[in-house]
């Protein structure tokens, strides 16, 4: 989003946003995308819709038949490639990486130097389409085991989520439509869920489907138990899902090149990800490593600053380890 006037956006996560996220484990940010940007996304999706892959096989189904998450049977459709469709069709999808409205929340929830962790994609459902059984939790909602990969902490007013989901809503999700659902506050739960709850057949009054409009963004800790209800609207459900992590953390491994292989120890996303990115957007594609080791950090004004140790310390490392970084 080059040329954006950063002055019309907040530069820090507000006290209200901090409170609501810490309370619930998720937050809705309204009107992140304009109606024109939403339409750009739909046009791009329409051009590639035949590439969507249905989760038809029994082993790919995400919900138990007959449960509220299952819908009436049609499988979910997954569409990849949204970062690789060229200057026009990928523009809005790439803008999410360092969107000025989201930047203070990314910094407030992940810290400076936050990074993209998974390859983004679009989820689609036709009417009756399958949702997703409840999953996640800092304490796994099914096994009851502590899940450090999805940890959530808040110390001295500083929130950190080990993995942050970012759902960009491209159609309205009205009450009762289905789609993304969440158990508010479950990022702080110490126990697994009681029988039947992960399928929505027990204690369903505690499972919330937030009402959102096209252009809204839902940020949620992956440590907050979440899923999706079967889709009930006549309009095709469409949302773009991203996941971000703090500078030193990784859950996914897509940055080891898009085909899952490594070449000369390269750490690169698929090459088309990098086309026409701003410096701030490029910074979000860095692999995991500490800020002090020459990591580009996005500033409040959207610029980028390299954080590093003194020249003498860097030279000492070279002398000791015979390489730039230890």
CA distances from 311 to 307, 308, 317 (A): 12, 8, 10
- pLDDT of 58 reads 84
- pLDDT of 1 reads 47
What string of DSSP letters covers 73-138? SPPPEEE--TTSSHHHHTHHHHHGGG-TTTHHHHHHHH-TT-EE-S--EEEEE-TT---EEEE-TT
- pLDDT of 5 reads 58
DSSP state at residue 287: P
For 284, the 3-state DSSP assignment is coil
- pLDDT of 199 reads 96
The answer to whether residues 247 and 67 touch, using CB atoms and an 8 Å cutoff, is no
- pLDDT tens string 151-201: 999 999 999 999 999 999 999 999 999 999 999 999 999 999 999 999 999
Q: How far apart are CA 239 and CA 179, in angstroms?
A: 9
Return per-residue pLDDT of the chain as tens, 326 residues: 444 555 588 999 999 999 999 999 999 999 999 999 999 999 999 999 999 999 988 888 899 999 999 989 789 999 999 999 999 999 999 999 999 999 999 999 999 999 999 999 999 999 999 999 999 999 999 999 999 999 999 999 999 999 999 999 999 999 999 999 999 999 999 999 999 999 999 999 999 999 999 999 999 999 999 999 999 999 999 999 999 999 999 999 888 765 545 555 555 898 899 999 999 999 999 999 999 999 999 999 999 999 999 999 999 999 999 988 88
Cα angle vertex 269, ends 242, 111, to 5°? 50
Q: How far apart are CA 194 and CA 188, in angstroms?
A: 16
Beta strands in the chain (DSSP E): 26-29, 53-54, 77-79, 115-116, 121-125, 132-135, 152-155, 158-161, 164-169, 179-182, 217-221, 226-229, 237-245, 293-298, 304-308
Tokens matching residue 9: 């956006």
- pLDDT tens string 110-164: 999 999 999 999 999 999 999 999 999 999 999 999 999 999 999 999 999 999 9
| Terminal-to-terminal C-alpha distance of the chain | 35
- pLDDT of 4 reads 57
For 291, the 3-state DSSP assignment is coil
For 152-165, give one letter per residue: b (16+ CB within 10 A) or e.
beeeeeebbbbbbb
Query: What global pTM score does this model have?
Result: 0.94
The residues pairing with 79 across neighbouring beta strands, listed in sequence order, are 122
């Amino acid at each position: 989003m080059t040329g954006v006037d950063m002055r019309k956006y907040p530069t820090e996560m507000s006290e209200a946003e901090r409170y609501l996220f810490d309370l619930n484990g998720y937050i809705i940010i309204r009107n992140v995308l304009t109606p024109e940007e939403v339409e750009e996304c739909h046009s791009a999706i329409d051009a590639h819709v035949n590439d969507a892959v249905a989760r038809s096989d029994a082993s790919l189904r995400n919900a138990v038949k007959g449960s509220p998450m299952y819908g009436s049977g049609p499988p979910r459709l997954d569409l990849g490639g949204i970062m690789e469709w060229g200057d026009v069709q990928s523009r809005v999808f790439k803008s999410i990486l360092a969107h000025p409205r989201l930047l203070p929340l990314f910094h407030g929830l992940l810290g400076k130097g936050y990074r993209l962790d998974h390859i983004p994609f679009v989820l689609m459902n036709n009417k009756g389409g399958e949702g997703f059984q409840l999953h996640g939790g800092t304490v796994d909602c099914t096994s009851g085991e502590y899940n450090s990969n999805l940890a959530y902490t808040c110390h001295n007013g500083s929130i950190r989520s080990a993995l942050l989901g970012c759902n960009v809503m491209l159609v309205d999700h009205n009450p009762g439509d289905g789609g993304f659902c969440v158990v508010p506050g479950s990022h702080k739960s110490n126990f697994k869920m009681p029988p039947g709850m992960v399928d929505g057949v027990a204690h369903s009054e505690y499972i919330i489907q937030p009402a959102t409009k096209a252009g809204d963004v839902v940020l949620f800790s992956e440590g907050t138990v979440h899923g999706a209800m079967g889709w009930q609207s006549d309009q095709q459900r469409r949302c773009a899902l991203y996941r971000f992590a703090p500078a030193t953390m990784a859950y996914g491994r897509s940055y080891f090149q898009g085909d899952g292989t490594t070449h000369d120890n390269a750490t690169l996303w698929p090459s088309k990800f990098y086309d026409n990115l701003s410096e701030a957007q490029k910074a979000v594609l860095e692999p995991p490593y500490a800020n002090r080791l020459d990591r580009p950090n996005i500033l409040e004004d959207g610029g980028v600053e390299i954080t590093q140790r003194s020249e003498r310390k860097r030279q000492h490392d070279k002398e000791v380890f015979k390489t730039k970084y230890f």
